[in-house]
Each structure stands twice: as C-alpha cells, then as structure tokens.
C-alpha cells in the first residue's frame, strides 16, 4: 500500500513498478506458489494503474506480462532459497546428530574393547598391530601401549598366511585353535576368532583371542582321571574273573594232589606255583577313589548332553523327548564320569533303536525325597537276561561287555545307583543321585555291545 501511494503521488513518467519487488521478496519465504502468484498479479495491477505510461493492447499487455513474470520469479526465487536453507539446516542438524551418535558409539565400542576379558587386536596386511586392548597386552606379557607397531605373527604364527594376501579379494571369517607365544617365549593354547576386511588403506585383520590353556589342562586332567578310573574298574573286573578261574583250577589241582598220582611230578608242582601267583595278581586292590566328586548342576549337565547327542540322534532319525523338572537340587557326583554314564546309556539305546522303525528315546529327570532320578527309556525292546545285565564280559556282547559294568561302577563311586526296570515296549535303566551327595536313577534299555 505504501508503494502504491508513492507510485500514485509521484507525478511524471517515472515508473516505480520495480519497487513492488520488495513485497514479493518479503512474501516469497512464507507463501505457497498460488499465493505468490496472486500477490504478483495484484502488484502488476497496481504498477500498471499508478504509472503514467499509456496502456495499449500491444505495449501495455507486454509490459504487464513482464511485470507479472518478474514479480512471480522474485517470489519463487526467495521461496526456493528459503526452502533450500531449511533443507540445509535440517541436513546439518542430522549430520550433527549422527556425528554425536557416532562419537557415542565409538566411545561405547572403545569401552567395550578395553574392558573385554578377551584379547582384541587389529593389524594391517603386513601383520603390524594397529590397535590392541589391555587384555591383549596382559595375555602376551607386554606393558600397556607397547603392542601397537609390533608384528602379530611373532605372537600368533598361525595368522601369518591370513593377513599376507594384500591383493586377494577373499575375506576370512572363522575360528581356529592354535599355538600362541608370549613376549617372554612362553607358549600357550589360543582360541582365535578372526576376520579380514578391506579399507581405503588396504586390507585389515581383526582377531579376538582367548587363552585356552587352563581349559585344555582341565580337559586333559579330566581325561586322564577318566582313563585311570575306567582302567581300575576294568582291571578289577578282569581280576574278579581271573580269581574265579583260578579258584576252579586250584580246586582241580587240590583234588589231583589228594589222589597222589602226580606226587613228585615237577610239572604238577609248577602248575601249583602258577596258580598261587595268579591268585596273588588277581588279589591286587584297585578300588576306585571318589575324591573327584563335587556338587553338579544336573539340569545344566543335561542341557550339555542334549547339545552333544542331538546331531547323532537327528542323523539316526530318533525322536528325543526331554522332561526335566524345574528347580532340580544340586547332586554330588563326578561331572565327567556322570556325562560318560549318560552318553553310554544313550549310545546303547541308539544301537537298539537302529532295529526299529518308530524310534523314540525319552529322558526324564525329577527329584524324589533326597534323591534325583534320571530315567533313560526307549522302545527298542527289552532285555532277555536282566540278571546278566551288569556283569562284565557277558556273552553276546558286540564289544567288551564292560559298558554298563563301568557305568554302574562310576555311579556307585559317588554314592549313586544304576538300576534296570523293564517297560512294556522297551527297557529302562535308572541311575539315581542323592541331592548334595550321590546319583540315584536313570533309564536305558540296552547293555554295551548288545540289546538288553
């Protein structure tokens, strides 16, 4: 309105229509396209009405079109500039937000890496360490901050062939167990999870390393203990059988000696000496020690058992049904021995179920009084002579016939019991453990080396 009054007041052929660009620049940042066009039409009308130029169809219309185009163009230009400015500000704010989130993520990742109990190392294509956390320095026996810049192959030689392919497009993502070496030359067993990736600066290697030496030692000691225990039990069974045979031979020898027919015979006297020596060997006391027993979480052990045997059961098309009572108490047992007992029972069931079509193995665990009962049952058929089930070297066994004999000896060594119970469509072996001190019941239908 001010510009229109000024345009009306100024006398003479002085066109002031360009001043209407000012309101167009003002409203361009706030109105939409239609509103800007309407304001441009109004400014065009005012510019034409209040100027002193003669309007004709030829000159006036052309002038009005130019006015309108100029006003609309100015408004749209300002509108687009403002829109771009808003977009740029929003983009800038988004960049700032993402940058802040990235910094927070990097900080959290740095804290995670530094506080991780596993050694984490990154290296370039030549094996030169770029970053290593505190656990890596501690594992390799170096002061904090001295590992970067050193060659990782000195400490983990197995990574030599992994990081040395600069031009290779193949990426590695795997886990391996290999020998490691500390800075002082001490060797250790390392579980290495590593991957390779590419950056603008070349290929990189990232590795997470765990010291498995203690676990390896524990496993080997446990294996040795299992071997010695099983050997003692097996030799005890052999000694028992030898004593029986020696007793029978000694009885025959005494009968022949009473007859007097072989008196003075050197071979007969040598046979008597051999019988005495054989009885002395068979009388060696190899009673098993149970000092390895401790409190065992049976539910956790059954979960581990499920993980171990699930692939083989699936491969043999055996349906496994697991029923574990919640809140089972701790039991007193030797964990590796108990695992071996369960594996032996399931192996026997699998062997018997191979002769049936609808193969079902059920494992049930529950508490009863101060005992925990674990039952292994299947539908593979019963036992022909249950009275021979736990005898060593039983006739008809496919292997040694020591499986259930050793299993019962293991269970009894920490105060439990392994029992047999027939089922209508299968068989049932039940070991039982007292909660806090001994194994009580488990079911399995079959003996070692044959179906029971």
β-bridge partners, 314 = none
343: Cβ contacts below 8 Å, ≥ 6 apart: 305, 308, 309
DSSP for 391-444, written as a single string: -TT-TT-SS-S-HHHHHHHHHHHTT-EEEEEEETTEEEEEEEEEBTS-EEB---
Instruction: Choose among 33, 59, 37: nearest CA to 48.
Output: 59
d(CA 130, CA 147): 8
- Give the per-residue pLDDT at 434: 47
Q: Where are the alpha helices (DSSP H) in 116-196?
A: 134-140
* 320 token code pair: 């496994």
Q: Are 50 and 11 in contact (CB under 8 A)?
A: no
Q: Are 386 and 452 in contact (CB under 8 A)?
A: yes
Mean pLDDT comparison of 59-73, 138-152, 302-316, 347-361, highest-scoring range: 138-152
Q: Answer with the residue of higher pLDDT: 232 or 100.
A: 100
Percent pLDDT > 70 in the chain is 70
d(CA 314, CA 451): 21
> Taking 60 as the threshold, does the pLDDT of residue 200 lie above it?
yes
| 418 exposure class (CB count in 10 Å sphere: 0-12, 13-18, 19+) | buried
* Half-sphere exposure in the Cβ direction for 438 (13 Å, CA): 15
Residue with tokens 């030898």: 242
| 285 exposure class (CB count in 10 Å sphere: 0-12, 13-18, 19+) | exposed
- Give the per-residue pLDDT at 138: 92
pLDDT digits (tens, 9 = 90+) for 374-413: 998 888 776 666 666 777 655 555 555 667 777 888 888 8
- Give the per-residue pLDDT at 441: 40
β-bridge partners, 65 = none
d(CA 41, CA 22): 14
What's the predicted TM-score (pTM) here? Answer: 0.49
User: Rg (Cα) of the chain, in Å, rounded?
Assistant: 45
pLDDT digits (tens, 9 = 90+) for 224-263: 566 656 666 666 666 666 777 777 777 777 777 777 767 7
* Torsion angles phi and psi, residue 208, rounded to 5: -115, 125
Quick one: how far is CA 412 from the chain centroid? 34
> Taking 50 as the threshold, does the pLDDT of residue 176 lie above it?
yes
Instruction: Choose among 375, 327, 350: nearest CA to 448.
Output: 350
- Give the per-residue pLDDT at 23: 80
d(CA 420, CA 430): 6
């Amino acid at each position: 309105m001010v510009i229109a009054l000024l345009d009306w007041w100024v006398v003479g052929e002085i066109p002031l229509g360009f001043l209407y660009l000012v309101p167009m620049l003002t409203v361009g940042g706030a109105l939409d396209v239609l509103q800007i066009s309407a304001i441009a039409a109004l400014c065009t009308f005012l510019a034409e009405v209040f100027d002193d130029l003669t309007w004709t169809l030829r000159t006036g219309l052309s002038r009005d079109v130019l006015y309108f185009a100029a006003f609309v163009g100015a408004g749209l230009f300002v509108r687009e500039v403002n829109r771009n400015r808003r977009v740029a500000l929003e983009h800038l704010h988004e960049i700032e937000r993402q940058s802040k989130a990235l910094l927070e993520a990097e900080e959290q990742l740095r804290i995670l890496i530094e506080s991780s109990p596993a050694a984490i190392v990154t290296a370039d294509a030549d094996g030169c360490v770029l970053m290593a956390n505190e656990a890596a320095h501690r594992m390799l026996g170096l002061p904090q901050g001295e590992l970067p810049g050193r060659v990782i192959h000195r400490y983990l030689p197995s990574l030599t062939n992994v990081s040395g392919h600069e031009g290779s497009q193949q990426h590695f993502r795997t886990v391996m167990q290999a020998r490691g070496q500390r800075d002082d030359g001490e060797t250790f067993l390392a579980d290495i999870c590593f991957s390779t990736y590419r950056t603008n600066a070349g290929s990189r290697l990232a590795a997470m390393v765990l010291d498995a030496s203690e676990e390896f030692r524990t496993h080997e000691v446990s294996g040795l203990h299992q071997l010695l225990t099983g050997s003692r039990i097996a030799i005890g069974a052999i000694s028992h059988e030898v004593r029986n045979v020696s007793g029978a031979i000694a009885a025959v020898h005494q009968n022949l000696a009473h007859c007097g027919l072989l008196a003075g015979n050197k071979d007969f006297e040598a046979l008597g000496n051999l019988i005495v020596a054989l009885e002395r060997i068979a009388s060696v006391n190899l009673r098993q020690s149970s000092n390895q027993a401790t409190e065992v979480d049976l539910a956790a052990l059954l979960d581990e058992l499920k993980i171990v045997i699930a692939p083989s059961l699936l491969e043999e098309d055996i349906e496994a049904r697991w029923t574990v009572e919640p809140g089972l108490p701790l039991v007193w047992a030797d964990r590796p021995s108990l695992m071996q007992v369960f594996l032996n029972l399931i192996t026997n069931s699998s062997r018997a179920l191979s002769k049936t079509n609808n193969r079902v193995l059920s494992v049930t665990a529950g508490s009863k009084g101060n005992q925990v009962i674990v039952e292994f049952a299947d539908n593979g058929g019963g036992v022909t002579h249950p009275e021979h089930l736990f005898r060593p070297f039983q006739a008809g066994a496919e292997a040694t016939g020591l499986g259930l004999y050793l299993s019962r000896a293991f269970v009894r060594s920490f105060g439990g019991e392994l029992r047999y119970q027939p089922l209508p469509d299968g068989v049932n072996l039940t070991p039982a453990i007292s909660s806090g001190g001994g194994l009580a019941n488990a079911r399995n239908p079959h003996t070692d080396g044959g179906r029971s």
